[in-house]
Amino acid sequence: MNYSIAIDGPSGAGKSTLAKAIAARLGFYYVDTGAIYRTVGLYVARQGGNCAVPADVEPLLPAIQIGMEYGEDGLQHMILNGEDVTAAIRENAVSQYASQVSAIPAVREFLLEMQRGLAKRHSVIMDGRDIGTVVLPDADIKVYLTASVEERALRRWKELQAKGDGTPLETVKEQIIQRDYADSHREIAPLRQAEDAVVLDTSELDLEESIEALYNIVKERIDL
């Protein structure tokens, strides 16, 4: 029997870090769906397309082969037409491309079966924006993970600093506010809390506390 855990929430709430930690504890597959949208955005941008324009993006979809491999490093490696783009999709500009392509219905349709297929074959903890609402509406557990804008901006800024990206904190915060707005106001599969989701706000929690809080939510709901 396969279990599925859906984690949704805004950018920078810590979804991937927490989901990865819980997946490792439970022996589940961790599926970072944002990485899949990032891979599509990267491809379109590399082809010179405008990620916000459906007529630019749609014709390119059939040429995109996306692979996911789980390395010994525990990372979900994204393979775009044979090339490992795991690092490239984390560049700051790609966040914007991903948000733009993700508002295009044909892109969401293109990726839906891939995401559902993974959950059919494995026990998964999957994170994104619409996992509990659209991709896996029957997930065993749904969590809406969030934190204040200030806290999320600070976390993202620290991550960028560690990679040598000097984007100022105020800019990072502005980008997060814009992305929150775009992700939650688009017509198709907007970011929203599923009615049956448990809300976990990590603004006041450090990493270890957040992991424990999420683990407790899971433990109370499925028989491990």
Instruction: Give the x/- contact pattern for ligand DC in 161-180, rule: CB under 6 A.
Output: ------------------x-
- Contact in structure between 152 and 10 (CB atoms under 8 Å): yes
* Minimal distance, residue 150 CB to ligand DC, in Å: 18
Using the minimum distance from each CB to ligand DC, give the nearer residue, 1 or 162.
162
- The CA distance from 16 to 21, in Å, is 8
Residue 156 binds to ligand DC (criterion: CB under 6 A): no
Residue 37 binds to ligand DC (criterion: CB under 6 A): yes
- Contact in structure between 7 and 198 (CB atoms under 8 Å): no
Using the minimum distance from each CB to ligand DC, give the nearer residue, 25 or 90.
90
CB atoms within 10 A of CB 62: 8
Residue 33 binds to ligand DC (criterion: CB under 6 A): yes
| Tokens at 119, concatenated | 């959950």
- The CA distance from 116 to 128, in Å, is 13
- Contact in structure between 146 and 12 (CB atoms under 8 Å): no
Between strands 124-128 and 4-8, the pairing is parallel
Of the candidates 127, 124, 119, the one whose C-alpha atom is nearest the C-alpha of residue 15 is 127
Instruction: Name residues contacting ligand DC, limited to 52-71 (CB under 6 A).
Output: none
Q: Which residue in 99, 133, 146, 202 binds ligand DC (CB under 6 A)?
A: 99
Using the minimum distance from each CB to ligand DC, give the nearer residue, 3 or 32.
32
* Minimal distance, residue 175 CB to ligand DC, in Å: 10
Instruction: Name residues contacting ligand DC, limited to 117-136 (CB under 6 A).
Output: 128-131
Using the minimum distance from each CB to ligand DC, give the nearer residue, 34 or 49.
34
Question: Could you tell me how far CA 33 lies from the centroid of its own chain?
Answer: 4
* Minimal distance, residue 223 CB to ligand DC, in Å: 27
- The CA distance from 129 to 18, in Å, is 15
Is 75 in a helix, a strand, or coil?
coil
Is 157 in a helix, a strand, or coil?
helix
What is the length of the chain?
Answer: 224
Residue 183 binds to ligand DC (criterion: CB under 6 A): yes
* Minimal distance, residue 95 CB to ligand DC, in Å: 6
Q: Which residue in 4, 39, 76, 102 binds ligand DC (CB under 6 A)?
A: 102
Applying CB under 6 A, what is the total number of residues that bind ligand DC?
15
Site of interaction with ligand DC (CB under 6 A): 11, 33-34, 37-38, 95, 98-99, 102, 128-131, 179, 183
